Amino acid sequence: MSRGHRSTPPDWSCRASPVAAELERLRAEEVAARRRARLEVLVWQATNQCNLRCRHCFVTERPRDDLDTTAVRKVFDNVASGVDPSTVRVGISGGEATLRQDLPEIVAHLAATGFSEVGLASNGFLLGQHPQQLDALVQAGLVSLNVSLDGPAHYHNELRRHPQAYDLALAALLHALRAHPEALDTTVTLTVAPGNLRTYPFVLDLVEQLGIRYVKMVAVMPFGEGAANADLGLTDEQFVRLLEDVAARRASFAAQRTPMLVSMTCDGFLGRFEGSARGGLFNCPAGVIVGAVLRDGRLSACAQLTQPFSVAGDLRREPFERLWRDGFRELRERRWLRRGPCASCGEWRYCQGGSLHDRAPDGALLRCNALRIRRALEGRSGAPSAH
């Protein structure tokens, strides 16, 4: 996408919970996507270093082995030689990517190489402190910005473990909206835990008043710091209440009663909430349409995955085209995940094993959100729960 035009998040459709025929149509699309395996989104894990120590962060180790500017450019040149870059969106993440002094230079290189758009996910801390840093990134070719905002100031600061985290994240959002309203597509990610289950609606009201039109919702995932801090995990009932609220808000958006769309993100297959808590049908896109360049130059299926099966090889030494073609075949062929509780599950046809976030290093199932949903709904009715 060219600079100066707003990008459209891939999940802006709203539809009621799919009936059988719609589920089959969506499943056919997902199967075709796995067979086609065409890269659409490439995430660059610019660094694991961060200026915050958030209680739910998936990063637990912070080695200082980030590639230098020249090596990063070469890695992306390798990628561009194996795909049509105009069909690939690049998202920059961390750690906290704005800690890299060379970030504008690399954004400019990505834009000049011809990638369809370049976006940044940030905690907003440095961008709020130094708004000229965001100006430089936009000048270099940045077209989208996602900032995390999780609750009222006291909650956000406690979760992020810094007394200025909220004010600076909000300052970054305000500067983006005021200084770059046309050049920059500004969105928010809101992480939900028991501590903000009652207050997150106030955050949604605030960002809607600011003029933000898309919010990604995510429940704390039980890995990294999120696993160490068990108090951040939603109960089954709390998770269902969140999904019900998101579905209701999406229905209001579809009916044009609100200008802001919210959507669940990588929370795995959501059973009866598929199509209502987010658009389409969830199948984990890692290694199918999504790839990641890790901080050390390795090609991974997703920047948040740490299992050995998620890494295809080293882009500093091997051509991207071969790594992408051959390195993720296991991820695209999902039958190897059908074991344990998945072996007899009636929803496998549509779930296909759920999110790889919820898998152990050997692929064994650690968590099933569809089962959590069934347990909560059956608990309301008093019916026994079964997988």
Confidence band of 19 (pLDDT split at 50, 70, 90):
low
Confidence band of 18 (pLDDT split at 50, 70, 90):
low
Residue 4, pLDDT score: 34
CATH superfamily, region 20-336: Aldolase class I (3.20.20.70)
Residue 58, pLDDT score: 79
Hey, which residues does 187 pair with through a beta bridge? 146
Share of the chain above pLDDT 70, in %: 93
Angstrom distance (rounded) from CA 101 to CA 104? 8
pLDDT per residue as tens digits for the range 53-69: 999 887 767 777 899 99
Confidence band of 115 (pLDDT split at 50, 70, 90):
very high
Rounded to 10 deg, the angle between the 103-113 and 131-140 helix axes is 20
Nearest to 191 by CA among 172, 163, 165: 165
Sequence-separated (6 or more) residues with CB below 8 Å from residue 377: 240, 272
Residue 150, pLDDT score: 95
Extents of the domains making up the chain: 20-336
Residue 11, pLDDT score: 37
Which of the two residues, 45 and 64, has the higher pLDDT score? 45
- Residue by residue, DSSP assigns 245-273 as HHHHHHHHHHTTS-S-EEEE-SS---GGG
Confidence band of 383 (pLDDT split at 50, 70, 90):
low
Residue 13, pLDDT score: 37
Is the pLDDT at 107 greater than 80? The verdict is yes
Angstrom distance (rounded) from CA 87 to CA 91? 13
Residue 224, pLDDT score: 75
CA contacts within 13 A on the Cβ side of 67:
22
Residue 5, pLDDT score: 34
Average pLDDT, the chain: 90
